Amino acid sequence: MTFAWPYALLLLLVAPLLLALYLIMLRRRRRFAVSYASLSLIREALPKRSRWRRRIPFALLLISLMFLAVAAARPQAEASVPMSRTTIILALDVSRSMCSTDIEPNRLAVAQQVAKTFVADQPSGTRIGFVAFSGGAQLLVPPTTDKKQLTTAIEGLTAGRGTAVGTALLRSIDAIASINPNVTRVDVDPGGAAARSLPPGGYQPDIVVLLTDGATTQGIAPLKAAQQAVDRRLRVYTIGFGTPQGGQLVCSREQLGTDVFMPGFGGGAGRMGADGPLRAALRVDERTLQNIADLTGGTYHRAVDAAQLVEVFRNLPQQIVLQKQHIEISFGFTAIAAALALAATGLSLAWNRYS
Cα–Cα distance list, 61 to 301, 307, 351 (Å): 60, 65, 15
Neighbours of 174 (CB within 10 A): 19
In three-state secondary structure terms, 140 is: strand
Q: According to the model, what pLDDT value does residue 273 have?
A: 46
Asked whether 301 and 237 are in contact (CB, 8 A), the reply is yes
Cα separation, 305 vs 111, in Å, equals 10
- The set of residues, in sequence order, having a beta carbon less than 8 Å from that of 256 and lying 6+ positions away, is 158, 159, 262, 265, 269, 270
Cα separation, 251 vs 241, in Å, equals 17
Cα separation, 256 vs 73, in Å, equals 62
Domains of the chain, earliest start first: 2-79+326-351 (no CATH), 83-322 (3.40.50.410)
Asked whether 248 and 100 are in contact (CB, 8 A), the reply is yes
User: Which of the 8 DSSP states describes residue 100?
Assistant: B
Number of residues that make up the chain: 355
pLDDT tens, the chain, 355 aa long:
788 888 888 888 888 888 788 778 777 766 655 555 555 555 555 555 556 666 787 788 888 888 888 888 888 887 765 555 679 999 999 999 999 999 999 999 999 999 999 999 988 778 999 999 999 999 999 999 999 999 999 999 999 999 999 999 999 999 999 999 989 998 655 444 445 555 556 788 899 999 999 899 999 999 999 999 999 999 999 999 999 888 888 888 888 875 533 433 333 345 544 443 444 456 899 999 999 999 999 999 999 999 999 999 988 855 555 566 678 888 888 899 889 888 888 877 777 665 5
Q: According to the model, what pLDDT value does residue 65 have?
A: 86
Q: According to the model, what pLDDT value does residue 268 have?
A: 38
Q: According to the model, what pLDDT value does residue 347 have?
A: 79
Q: Is the peptide bond before 105 cis (omega within 30 degrees of 0)?
A: yes
Q: According to the model, what pLDDT value does residue 264 have?
A: 36
Q: Going by DSSP bridges, is the β-strand pair 235-241/300-303 parallel, antiparallel, or unpaired?
A: parallel
Cα–Cα distance list, 190 to 221, 295, 299 (Å): 11, 20, 27
Q: Where does residue 18 rank: exposed (0-12), middle (13-18), buried (19+ CB within 10 A)?
A: middle
The percent of the chain in helix, strand and coil, each rounded to the nearest 5, is 50, 20, 35
Cα separation, 302 vs 241, in Å, equals 6
Q: According to the model, what pLDDT value does residue 232 have?
A: 94
In three-state secondary structure terms, 192 is: coil
- The set of residues, in sequence order, having a beta carbon less than 8 Å from that of 268 and lying 6+ positions away, is 252, 253
Residue closest to 98 by CA, chosen among 118, 115, 120, 119 = 115
Q: What are phi and psi of 116, to 5 degrees?
A: -65, -40
